[in-house]
Amino acid sequence: MIRPASTADVPVIAKLIRDLAEYERLTHAVVLDEERLRTHLFSSRPYAEVLLAEDAGAVVGFALFFHTYSTFAGKPCIYLEDLFVEPACRGKGLGKALLRAIAKLAIERDCCRLEWSVLNWNEPSINFYKAMGAKPMDEWTGYRLTGEALRSLALS
Q: Which residues are catalytic?
A: 129
Q: Which of 42, 87, 36, 23 is nearest to 61 (CA)?
A: 87
**Cα–Cα dist 83/100, whole Å:** 12
The DSSP bridge partners found for residue 83 are 63
Distance, first Cα to last Cα, the chain: 49
Q: In angstroms, what CA-CA distances link 144 with 49, 80, 114, 124, 128?
A: 22, 17, 20, 25, 26
**Cα–Cα dist 128/133, whole Å:** 9
